Structures are given as structure tokens and as C-alpha cells.
């Protein structure tokens, strides 16, 4: 589980600690994958993450940016139940009809790639327990709209199978052929508000 002390101050309120103050307080490095993991998962969804990944140990995983082709993402990324992430694909078409101002739709339509990388976990060390069946080989942790839209855009021919897309991938340190250059540990923290 992610330690509760990593929650931003005022986590569940409108006065949540600003992202920049949070980065400074934790001493987060200027490492894209680490920043994206903390921003998308720890800062925004710590409780949700802990409910879904109770056995996760932060020190056991190294986040890195990896590029997948659209075809690889389509074939290798799954969600809970080992299912394909398609639930938002039709929304993409609905938003296209109205030129909806939803930022993920707008950015992906313009740049043909997610505006920031979805977060995946190489799931070889995640244990399915009957209640949870994780996606294999890459489990989608964060980015349901982005991955659904990407798959939908591929199926509609809006992007090519060989187009490249960035992902944050959490790999268990024991599976790394070469030690990760990301050995970040947050500063020792004093209680949170």
C-alpha cells in the first residue's frame, strides 16, 4: 500500500495542497515517470489505488517512461478482470460530433496521442486473488479515457498501428535487467493534515 503520509494536505477538500507545494515538500525529483506516477496516482487517487493494490510496496517498483506502438498498447494493456479498456471509446465519437471541450478528447484529437502518459504496472508480481484479476501483461492503473480513446482511434484508422505513445510503466525491481536509474525515496515526512 502507499503510505498515508504521502497524501497531500487536505486530500479530500477543496483546499488540497497545491501540486507544486506537494512536489517541494516531498522533494520529488525532476524525473518524468516519477512525477507522473505521483501526480496521477499518489496525489489524485491514493485511497483508490490502495483499495485495488493492497499488496503494492512502493520500494519494490521503479517507474519509467516507455514507448509502445498503438498496436502494442492495444494488444498488451488490460484492466481489472484482464479486460480490454474499451468503455470510453464510443464517448470519443459522441464528443467528436459536438467538438466537446473535454481536455483529453481535445488534446488526443489534435495530437493523436494522450496529453500525458497513462500509468501501467507490469503485472507479473500482482497476485490474482479471486476478487481481483489484474490485466496481463500490463495492467492499466490510471488512464481509462486515454487508453480507451487510443484503442478507439486505432480501430477507426485515426492513428496507425505503428504510431508511438508514451506510458509510465511500473516494473518490479526484481524483473529489471538493468537497475533503474530511478532510486527516488521521498523525504522523511512529518504527519499530514
User: What are 145's three cell numbers?
Assistant: 479515457
Distance CA 133, CA 18 (A): 34
For each of the chain's 193 residues, which pLDDT tens digit applies? 999 999 999 999 999 999 999 999 999 999 999 999 999 999 999 999 999 998 899 999 999 999 999 999 999 999 999 999 999 999 999 999 999 999 999 999 999 999 999 999 998 888 887 777 899 999 999 999 999 999 999 999 999 999 999 999 999 998 876 555 555 566 655 544 4
Phi, then psi, of 181 in degrees rounded to 5: -80, 5
* Per-residue confidence (pLDDT) for residue 46, from 0 to 100: 97
Per-residue pLDDT, 192: 44
Give the pTM. Answer: 0.90
Residue 175 burial by Cβ neighbours in a 10 Å radius (0-12, 13-18, 19+): exposed
Q: In this predicted structure, what is the pLDDT of residue 185?
A: 61
- Predicted local confidence at residue 124, as pLDDT: 85
Amino acid at each position: 500500500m502507499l503510505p498515508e503520509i504521502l497524501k497531500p494536505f487536505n486530500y479530500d477538500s477543496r483546499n488540497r495542497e497545491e501540486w507544486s507545494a506537494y512536489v517541494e515538500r516531498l522533494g520529488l525529483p525532476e524525473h518524468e515517470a516519477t512525477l507522473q506516477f505521483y501526480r496521477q496516482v499518489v496525489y489524485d487517487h491514493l485511497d483508490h489505488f490502495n483499495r485495488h493494490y493492497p499488496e503494492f510496496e512502493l520500494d519494490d517498483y521503479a517507474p519509467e517512461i516507455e514507448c509502445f506502438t498503438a498496436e502494442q498498447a492495444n494488444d498488451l494493456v488490460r484492466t481489472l478482470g484482464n479486460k480490454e479498456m474499451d468503455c470510453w471509446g464510443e464517448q470519443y465519437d459522441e464528443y467528436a460530433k459536438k467538438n466537446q471541450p473535454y481536455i483529453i478528447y481535445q488534446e488526443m484529437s489534435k495530437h493523436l496521442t494522450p496529453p500525458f502518459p497513462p500509468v501501467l504496472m507490469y503485472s507479473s508480481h500482482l497476485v490474482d486473488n479471486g476478487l481481483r484479476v489484474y490485466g496481463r501483461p500490463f495492467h492499466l492503473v490510471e488512464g481509462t479515457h486515454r487508453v480507451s480513446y487510443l484503442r478507439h482511434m486505432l480501430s477507426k484508422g485515426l492513428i496507425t498501428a505503428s504510431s508511438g505513445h508514451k506510458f509510465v510503466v511500473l516494473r518490479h525491481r526484481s524483473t529489471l535487467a538493468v537497475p533503474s536509474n530511478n532510486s527516488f525515496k521521498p523525504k522523511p515526512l512529518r504527519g499530514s493534515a
